[in-house]
Amino acid sequence: MSTSNMEINPQGLAAFLIHAGLGRKIVELEPEQNFFTQGDPADAVFFLEKGRAKLSVVSKMGKQATIALLSPGGFFGEESLAAVSAVRNATAIAVNTCTALRIKREDMIRIMHQEPDFCDEFLSMVLARSQRTQADLVNQLFNTSEKRLARTLLLMAEFGKPDELRTCIPPVTQETLAEIVGTTRSRISFFMNRFRSLGLIDYKDRIRVHRPRLKAALIDQFAEI
């Protein structure tokens, strides 16, 4: 099957991968189960079909940080393509019930060589994540924890419809937000309450972001308290 006549989008990618004859396996995980663990041999790439997942790293001192939240329609584990002896540099954890395709390293490389359209789409996704990672690093180094939280909530709200003024973000705990932002859970709770009192978000079971208001507040640069 060639991608030359197909529109490349998350649904198209999923259909293509299912029918491409790759060495692949459908995996289903329950919440808190690992797709792979930091330090494991990296021998496959994953394509997330359903559910939400996160990438976390643990330092030698045992400190844990969440470095990315993953949504359906995206790849992860691409470090396996770097070298035959590559190892996982993070742990991929299911946030809720997940379904993903596990694609062997050699088959992923083969299909990238055979299908230039697919290769272009995959590389675009990888480069976009690299740019996001660089932006996250700048954000972590130079912004206050309150501003980092505002940015994180806006990024998570990107999955909503463009014309939505209020968007429910994927389910996430304050502990996970604290890991992403690089602060304590108590600080996250304080900022979340402040955001709610300012009308920037509201939440009960799910966090709903008022995107225009939060964007305006982010531009005005929150002051650390």
Tokens representing residue 100 in the block = 């993903």
**pLDDT at residue 86, rounded to an integer:** 86
Single out the residue of 210, 212, 215 nearest to residue 199, CA to CA: 210
pLDDT, averaged per 10 consecutive residues of the chain (225 residues), comes to 40 65 80 94 92 88 83 89 86 92 90 86 84 78 86 78 64 86 92 92 86 83 49
CATH architecture for residues 143-219: Orthogonal Bundle (1.10)
Phi, psi of 90 (to 5 degrees): -155, 170
Residue 31 CB-half CA count within 13 A: 5
- Paired residues of 54 in beta bridges: 69, 93
| pLDDT for res 8 | 45
Amino acid at 216: A
CA-wise closest residue to 161 among 209, 213, 201, 206: 209
What superfamily in CATH does domain 10-140 come from? Jelly Rolls (2.60.120.10)
Query: What are the domain boundaries of the chain?
Result: 10-140, 143-219
Q: Supply the pLDDT for residue 3.
A: 34
CB-CB contact of 42 with 88 (8 Å): yes
Phi/psi at 35 (nearest 5 deg)? -70, -45
**C-alpha to C-alpha distance for 115 and 3, rounded to whole angstroms:** 7
pLDDT score recorded for residue 7: 41
Predicted confidence at residue 18, as pLDDT, reads 65
Beta bridge partners, 65, equal 57
What is the pLDDT at residue 15?
Answer: 67
Identity of the amino acid at 36? F
How many Å is the maximal CA-CA distance in the chain?
A: 57
